[in-house]
Amino acid sequence: MNTWIREEVLERIYLYGLLRNAAKRLFPPSSEKAVSSRWRPGGSTYRSNSFWSRTDYPPFALKARDVSLETLERIRKLCDQMHAPLLIVTIPYREQVYFANEFREGYDVSLPQKYVEQFAADHALSYLDLRPALADHVRATGAQLFFPQEGHFNGEGHAVTGRLLVPFFKAAIEKTNRN
């Protein structure tokens, strides 16, 4: 393939991506329920967030979990060596916040965070799972915390998350200062 043809194709792909993302932001679904009707807890590919909430992890997922926990252990040891407290916060994916009651049999809304929570408990580390508080906030207010059709927090999502993190970090600082 000629270089100029390759460059033209890449430019068109890039332009398509920009247009697609702009269209998603300009024409969001009318409500989170619009997303709910298209989303089915039970993704079969590792690129689906719900894949990681399966209760029957396939070997690939077990290996990924183990590598993640081994990495956390290395971080914990480094923090110990540096006499720095390790605080762990888990951030849910949007379906865990909006559609927790729709997870079908064979899926656990608290996975994969449960593995991290157990690690924190085993090592007496400060841990905060944002899922319950974010889900409660959404149920109480109807807030939109994520960009439409995307897994990233919007401005309100960052603000709510920040308000949840402040007391957690303050408590950890106070605990560190007492010791």
- Please report whether residue 115 resides in a domain: yes
Question: In this structure, is residue 13 part of a structural domain?
Answer: no
**Is 23 among the domain residues?**
no
Structural domain includes residue 99: yes
Report cis status (omega within 30 of 0) of the bond before 112: yes
92 contacts 130 by C-beta, under 8 angstroms? yes
Is residue 64 in some structural domain?
yes
In a domain, 33, yes or no: no
Rounded to whole angstroms, how far apart are CA atoms 64 and 79?
23
- The answer to whether the beta carbons of residues 126 and 172 sit under 8 Å apart is yes
Annotate 112-150 with b (16+ C-beta within 10 A) or e (fewer): bbebbbebbeeeebbbbbbbbbbbebbeeeebebbbbbe
Global pTM value: 0.72
Count of domains for the chain:
1
**Is the confidence at residue 30, as pLDDT, over 50?**
no
Task: State the Cα–Cα distance between residues 121 and 90, nearest whole angstrom.
Answer: 14
| Closest C-alpha among 39, 31, 35 to residue 142 | 31
pLDDT class for 168, splitting at 50, 70, 90? Answer: very high
Name residue 89's beta-bridge partners.
Answer: 128
Distance CA 138, CA 136 (A): 5
- List the single range of 76-80, 104-108, 145-149 with lowest mean pLDDT: 104-108
Has residue 2 been placed in a domain?
A: no
**DSSP-derived 3-state class of residue 128:** strand
Q: Write the pLDDT tens digit of every residue in 45-73.
A: 666 777 788 888 888 888 889 999 999 99
Q: Is residue 116 part of a domain?
A: yes
Residues 102 and 36: beta-carbon distance below 8 Å: yes
Average pLDDT value for residue range 4-18: 59
CA 168 to CA 17: how far, in whole Å? 38
Supply the range of the domain harboring residue 128: 40-178
